[in-house]
Amino acid sequence: MAREDGDPTWYTRADALFRHALALAPGDFTALAGQGSLALSRHDFTGALALGQRALAIDPSSPFAMGVVVDANVELGRYAAARSALERLLDQRPDLASYSRVSYFLELHGRTAAARRALVQATQSGAPSGENTAWAYLYLGNLDFNHGRYAAAARSYRAAIHTDPGFLHARAAQAKLAAARGDYRKAIAAYSAVVARYPLPAYVIALGDVYRAAGRPAAARRQYALVRAEERLYAANGVNVDVELALFDDDHGGDVAGALARMRALARIQPSVTAEDALAWTLFKAGHARAALAAADRALRLGTRDSSFLYHRGAIEASLGMRGPAARDLRAALSLNPRFSLLYAPDARRLLRRVGR
C-alpha cells in the first residue's frame, strides 16, 4: 500500500503487525523476511541486513531473504558481499527480481550495456503481477534516459503504462522526459496529476523544479514547502531520508550545515557511492571543496557512469582551479545526458565554457 499511494504511515502499520507476528512465533521466517523488506523501504539498511541474515539462517535457499541481503549490502556500500549474494540469488531463481538487481549492480559499476541486457531479460522473464513487469520497464526507461536515449526511454515508459495502466511512476517518468525536452506545460500537467494521487517527495521536488525552470518561482516555493512537511511525515514513520533531504537542502537553499552533519554520520556507516556523492555535494555547498573532492572520488570509485555524480565532481574541480579534470568530468556528464538536470545541466555547460580548452 505504501508503494501504491506514497503514504508512509503504512510502514508503521506493517511494522506493528510484523512485531505482533514475531511475538506469537519468534522464529517465523515470513515475518523476519518481511521485517527485512520493511527496513529496506525505510532505508534502515543495517537493520535490513541483520534481518535478512536471520531469515537466511532459517531458510538458506529463500530468494526473498537473499534479495533483502543483496539490497542491503548494495546500499551499505558492501559491494563484494552484494556480488556474492547476488550470484547465489541468480543461481537460485533467475527471474525478474534477480535480473533487476543484476542490472542495478552492473550499472553502478559502469557496465551500462550489460545492465540494459539484464533489464531486457527482466521484462521478458515474467512476473507474478503486471506491476512488477511495469517496474522493470520503468528501470529500463530510466537507464536509457540517464544515457541520453530519450526515444528509447519514451518507449519503455509507454510499455510500463501498457502493462499496468495505473502505474503512476511511469507517468512521472513521462513528465521528467517532457521537462528534459523543454515542454514545461506538459511536464507540469503530468507531474501535477501524479502528485495529486501520489505525493512522493521526489515527484513534488521535480514539479517544483519544473515550475522554477518555467519562470514560476512562487509555484515552485509552494511545492518546496510541501516537501518539508512530507519529509517530517516520512521521518515520523521511521523512514531515513538523510540523503534525499541533504540533496534537497543543498539544491534549494536549505540548512546545509545540518545536512552536512547528517551526511557525515551516515557516510561513516553507509559508505555507498550514493551516500558519498551526497556527502561530496554537501561538503562543497558548505565550503569544504578539498574534502568534497575526496568524497566525490569515492563516489566514482566503481566507475559509475552517472551525469549527476560527474557534474558534482566537475563543479568541485572547477572551484579548485583544476581546469583539465573539471573539463573532463563536465564534458562526460553532458555527453552521457545533456539534459540530466533542469537545475544543473545549464550550469554544467557554463562551467565547461569557462574551464574548457
Query: Can you give the pLDDT at residue 309?
Result: 98
Neighbours of 337 (CB within 10 A): 23
Where do we find the cell 550550469?
347
Q: For the chain, percent helix, then strand, then coil, each to nearest 5?
A: 80, 0, 20
Which residues does 193 contact at the CB level (< 8 Å), separation at least 6? 171
The phi and psi torsions of 283 (rounded to 5 degrees) equal -60, -40
Whole-angstrom distance, CA of residue 175 vs CA of residue 336: 20
Q: What is the largest CA-CA distance in the chain?
A: 68
The cell numbers describing 31, all together, are 515475518
Query: Can you give the pLDDT at residue 254?
Result: 87
7 near 201, Cβ under 8 Å? no
95 near 125, Cβ under 8 Å? yes
Whole-angstrom distance, CA of residue 60 vs CA of residue 56: 4
Neighbours of 225 (CB within 10 A): 12
Query: Can you give the pLDDT at residue 125?
Result: 80
Query: Can you give the pLDDT at residue 127?
Result: 60
Whole-angstrom distance, CA of residue 192 vs CA of residue 196: 6
Whole-angstrom distance, CA of residue 199 vs CA of residue 126: 29
The cell numbers describing 127, all together, are 512476473
Domain 1-93: CATH superfamily is Tetratricopeptide repeat domain (1.25.40.10)
- DSSP secondary structure letter of residue 306: -
Whole-angstrom distance, CA of residue 316 vs CA of residue 351: 11
Single-letter code of the amino acid located at 146:
N
Q: Where are the domains of the chain?
A: 1-93, 182-240
Query: Can you give the pLDDT at residue 126?
Result: 65
Query: Can you give the pLDDT at residue 209?
Result: 96
Question: What distances in angstroms separate CA 23 from CA 19, 40, 42, 64, one per listed residue?
Answer: 6, 21, 21, 22
Q: Which is nearest to 272 in space by CA: 250, 249, 252, 299?
A: 299
Neighbours of 63 (CB within 10 A): 17
* Tens-binned pLDDT, residue by residue, of the chain (357 aa): 887 777 889 999 999 999 999 999 988 888 999 999 999 999 999 999 999 999 999 999 899 999 999 999 999 999 999 999 999 999 988 888 899 999 999 999 999 999 999 999 988 886 656 788 999 999 999 999 999 999 999 999 999 999 999 899 999 999 999 999 999 999 999 999 999 998 888 999 999 999 999 999 999 999 999 998 888 888 888 888 878 888 998 999 889 999 999 999 999 999 999 999 999 999 999 999 999 999 999 999 999 999 999 999 999 999 999 999 999 999 999 999 999 999 999 999 999 999 976
